[in-house]
Amino acid sequence: MSIYLDHNSSTAPHPEVVEAMREIYKKPYNNSATHHLGIQAESLVQKAIKSIQNLLNANNYQVIFTSGATESSNQVLFNCDADKIFNSAIEHACVYNCKVDGKKIYEFACDKNGVIDLADLEKKITNQHNFLTSAMLANNETGAIQPVAEISRITHKNLGLFFCDIVQGVGKIAVDLEELNVDFACLSAHKIYGPQGIGALLVRKGIELKPLIYGGKQQNSKRAGTQNIAAIVGFGLACDIASQRLQHFSQLANLRNYLEKSLKEIANDNLKIISENAPRLANTSFIALKNVDAQTQLINFDLNKICVSAGSACSSGTISQSRISQALGLEKHFLNSAIRVSLGFDNTKSDIEKFINVWYNFYQQKFNKK
Amino acid sequence: MTIKLPIYLDYQSTSPVDPRVVEAVSKSLQEDFGNPHSRTHSFGWSAEEKVEIARKQIADLINADPKEIFFTSGATESNNIAIKGVANFYKNSGKNHIITVATEHKCVLNSVRDLEQEGFTSSFLGVQKNGLIDLNQLESLITNKTCLVSIMAVNNEIGVIQPLKEIGQLCRKFGVFFHSDCAQAYGKISLDVNDLNLDLMSISGHKIYAPKGIGAIYVRRKPRVRIKSLFSGGGQERGIRCGTVPTSLALGLGLASEIAKNEMTKDHQHIKKLSDKFLKEILKLSHIYLNGDQTHRYCGNLNLSFAGVEGESLIMAIKDLAVSSGSACTSASLEPSYVLHALGVDDDLAHTSIRFGIGRFTTEEEIDYAINLINQKVNRLREMSPLWEMIQEGIDLKSIKWKTH
């Protein structure tokens, strides 16, 4: 049996989520239909909306269901009422790579800990008009939690709009959209033990945002297409469970810290935990090993039936050097040598011990023969 | 045998997931949770393998190459990608004209209208009384500026089948790309992208007993069709459609496609038998009209107008049948169907129209029950209707000047 340590990439839906979806699949639900199955379906959708609003303290936000966070963020970047976009250097590919016709894209930096540099942001947006700031709540690779409330404050002070990719924060830390004062937020179900293929875009009430996908009048004409009822129900349920398990999630830090401490004892200065000194998600560790290619490490873990990654899954195809590590200005010998471990609810201490063991053997091979 | 009410006769709106697909998807949700784009571990590889099997199952159903199939969230998104994607990619070559048909699905019409806002020009081809396009008229609209013709296979409201093969030949002759919204046709009638000269095809999952939230787009490789993607991001689906491909949903669409391929004849025989019986019995009531061409049609979609009854009262009276008075995405509004309007059906009659959708899981008992119920209720509603008396007396309702009080 393999050990799965790649939960920031995707999580297995909770069994109760799968069960709920299985029941829905048996029924021909289309919430746009006017007969009573349509009405039942619509009430299920409304319930899921409530679950999302509750988890995020987002009663003042319109919830638009999309196919996932990529679509959500594209809708904001393409259609928000702004002609300039300021991205942080550590944004996810779906934000960072978004080339929008007619909008100018700028970048602001992060510091060595992988935390967004507020001074740089402020310098760049001061005296700008009609702009959007886009910054994530927690980084998918390093787990570094960003000063989003501050970013929001600085943005609004300069009369900009603020878009926050909260994908990696949801279900891992408490997220309060009112408090963070964001204008737009995107999230994804399959990162919080819900199904793949469903996500949401939250838009503060009163802000107009055109659709990206045109068609019927579903979702107040904000997103056309028959709604994915089963996945929406699964998503809502995953949110309910997430709000009950935040405390439980934070305890994953014990396993993560044990892991990091053990590796440091083995490798000392040959090892660097990226963003170690930043506030981090409890489950994430981005571990660089001096002058050892991440690819080589991954092959070794795979042979030993441990699933980790070198960073974001979607940018693979070819495994390129992590853009995030570059943004952090890592020393050259750590640059292409980091692997990401991201824990989930089902991981146990024995999983971590196995990981340490495999890592130790690998380390001996690489360093002690030199 | 007792019948479970209400009887579902709205298969064009959506279909229940086939039990075989439910089992496979539920199992997959638990097993294949890896991100199919994770290239670094077995969970990712295994998910990717499942996605690739599904891609092939879809390709096989339409005689395409798996490399020509891209997963989307559904046919609405596929239609948006096809129309805007082609238009935007080729706009710099001086081609800026798009042709579509007045009876297309809203998502096609609105994609084209959105392009008009951006400076493209468009032609909305009308249809004949039978709902089919006139090929000569189509040919006369094609100019050297025309980039794309988008014409659906099976109409969602009335079930007529457009002459795709002839349209495909015409488009090929003039070097224009041909896209077809096949949401209502894929898996139900035989479609061969090469035989039809299709360049792009939109595919939906939940119309063929697969889950909602998954669809696909076929994009021809030879000769190659290029498109500008609707969204950008991690570069998944070779840049045509970014975003994590939902493995279990893709697997569901693949399996549903394979089942559709293997059981198309059986499905068709079953649905045709029920549909013929239903139509024959209902037409025994007088002044009932089947909208759309009588022969070039998909048998699982019967759109009937009931003169002398009001559509909404009829739907209320036959609540035991889950039916719709138009496409689901517009049925929440009470405006008469733009599709029937395009056929020249007058508004009074359009208001009395109901679509009956028959599918794989419809039983003969259910059809018998429906026939009985409709007979009863239509007769009763007509007895109460002063209009019906006039219709029977041969009075043309349009000649009456109504007094307002």
- Tokens 């009308």 label which residue? B126
Q: Write the CB contacts of B143 (distance below 8 Å, at least 6 apart in sequence).
A: B97
Q: How far is CA B14 from CA A35, B11, B208, B324, in A?
A: 12, 5, 8, 11
Q: Write the CB contacts of B396 (distance below 8 Å, at least 6 apart in sequence).
A: none
B31-75, pLDDT tens digit by residue?
A: 998 888 887 788 888 999 999 999 999 999 999 999 999 999 999
Give residue B334's pLDDT. 59
Size of interface A-B (CB pairs under 8 A): 289
Burial tier of B106 (Cβ tally within 10 Å: 0-12, 13-18, 19+)? buried
Q: How far is CA A76 from CA A104, A185, A347, B320, in A?
A: 14, 9, 35, 43
CA distance B284 to chain A (A): 26
* CATH code for the domain defined by A3-10+248-368: 3.90.1150.10
- The answer to whether residues A143 and A286 touch, using CB atoms and an 8 Å cutoff, is yes
Four-way CATH pick for A15-244: 3.50.50.60, 3.40.1010.10, 3.30.470.20, 3.40.640.10: 3.40.640.10
Residues in chain B: 405
Give residue B333's pLDDT. 52
CB-CB under 8 Å, B327 with A216: yes
Give residue A370's pLDDT. 52
A123-155, pLDDT tens digit by residue?
A: 999 999 999 999 999 999 999 999 999 999 999
DSSP string, B13-40: T--PPPHHHHHHHHHHHHH--S-TT--S
Residues in chain A: 370
User: Which contiguous run of DSSP H or E holds residue B217?
Assistant: strand B215-219
CB-CB under 8 Å, A15 with B213: no
Three-state SS annotation for chain A: CCEECECCCCCCCCHHHHHHHHHHHCCCCCCCCCCHHHHHHHHHHHHHHHHHHHHHCCCCEEEEEECCHHHHHHHHHHHCCCCEEEEECCCCHHHHCCCCCCCEEEEECECCCCCECHHHHHHHHCCCCCEEEEEECECCCCCEECCHHHHHHHHHHCCCEEEEECCCCCCCCCCCHHHHCCCEEEEEHHHCCCCCCCEEEEEECCCCCCCCCCCCCHHHHCCCCCCCHHHHHHHHHHHHHHHHCHHHHHCHHHHHHHHHHHHHHHHHHHEEEECCCCCECCCEEEEEECCCCHHHHHHHHHHCCEECECCCCCCCCCCCCCHHHHHCCCCHHHCCCEEEEECCCCCCHHHHHHHHHHHHHHHHHHHHCC
Looking at this protein, which amino acid is placed at residue B40?
A: T
Residue B6, preceding peptide bond in cis (omega within 30° of 0): yes
User: Which contiguous run of DSSP H or E holds residue B76?
Assistant: helix B75-90
Cα end-to-end span (Å), chain A: 33
Please check whether residue A71 touches B, CB under 8 A.
yes
What is this model's ipTM? Answer: 0.85
pLDDT of A30 strictly over 60: yes
Distance CA A284, CA B2 (A): 56
DSSP state of B79: H
- Tokens 């991100």 label which residue? B35
- The answer to whether residues B27 and B223 touch, using CB atoms and an 8 Å cutoff, is no
Q: Write the CB contacts of A237 (distance below 8 Å, at least 6 apart in sequence).
A: A14, A16, A17, A20, A48, A51, A194
Distance CA A144, CA A286 (A): 10
Instruction: List residues bridging with B305 in a β-sheet.
Output: B289, B353
pLDDT interval class at B2 (50, 70, 90): confident
CA distance B393 to chain A (A): 34
A158-172, pLDDT tens digit by residue?
A: 999 999 999 999 999
Could you give the residue range(s) of every CATH 3.90.1150.10 domain in chain A? 3-10+248-368
Distance CA A136, CA A145 (A): 8
Q: Which of B180, B208, B152, B158 is nearest to B14 (CA)?
A: B208
Burial string for A297-335 (b: 16+ CB within 10 Å, else e) reads: bbebbbebebbbbbbbbbbbeebeebbbbebbebeeebb
Give residue B331's pLDDT. 47
pLDDT of B402 strictly over 80: no
- Tokens 């759109």 label which residue? B303
| Segment among A273-287, A307-321, B237-251, B366-380 with least mean pLDDT | A307-321
Give residue B234's pLDDT. 76
pLDDT interval class at A321 (50, 70, 90): low
Cα end-to-end span (Å), chain B: 52
- The answer to whether residues A85 and A100 touch, using CB atoms and an 8 Å cutoff, is yes
Could you give the residue range(s) of every CATH 3.40.640.10 domain in chain A? 15-244
- The answer to whether residues B150 and B133 touch, using CB atoms and an 8 Å cutoff, is no
Ramachandran angles phi, psi of A279, nearest 5°: -60, 130
Q: How far is CA A60 from CA A178, B51, B53, in A?
A: 8, 38, 43
Helices marked H in B91-238 — which ranges? 106-117, 135-141, 164-174
B266-289, pLDDT tens digit by residue?
A: 999 999 999 999 999 999 999 999
The whole-number average pLDDT for the span B388-403 is 77
Chain B residues 342-401 with CB within 8 Å of chain A:
none
Distance CA A56, CA A281 (A): 17
pLDDT of A204 strictly over 70: yes
Q: Select the residue of A6, A196, A312 nearest B41 (Cβ to Cβ).
A: A6
B319-328, pLDDT tens digit by residue?
A: 999 998 754 4
Distance CA B169, CA A281 (A): 58
Residues of A in contact with B35 (CB under 8 A): 6, 9-10, 190, 313-314
- Tokens 């499942």 label which residue? B50
3-state secondary structure of B395: coil
Q: Structure tokens of B371?
A: 């026939």
**High-pLDDT (> 90) share of chain B, %:** 78
Mutant choice from A35, A97, A298, A346 vs B, greatest count of B C-beta within 10 A? A35
Active site residues of B: 329
The whole-number average pLDDT for the span B300-316 is 89
Q: Structure tokens of A55?
A: 């988890």
3-state secondary structure of B65: coil
Structural domains in chain B, CATH included, are 7-14+264-398 (3.90.1150.10), 19-260 (3.40.640.10)
Q: Which of B377, B329, B371, B372 is nearest to B352 (CA)?
A: B377
Task: Decide the pairing of beta strands A131-136 and A84-88.
Answer: parallel
pLDDT of B78 strictly over 80: yes
DSSP state of B280: H
Distance CA B104, CA B110 (A): 10
The whole-number average pLDDT for the span B122-130 is 97
CB-CB under 8 Å, B14 with A71: no
A33-72, pLDDT tens digit by residue?
A: 878 888 999 999 999 999 999 999 999 999 999 999 999 9
Give residue A319's pLDDT. 47
Please check whether residue B21 touches A, CB under 8 A.
yes
3-state secondary structure of B135: helix
CA distance A256 to chain B (A): 20
Determine what percent of chain B falls in helix, strand and coil, rounding each to the nearest 5.
45, 15, 45
Please check whether residue B239 touches A, CB under 8 A.
no
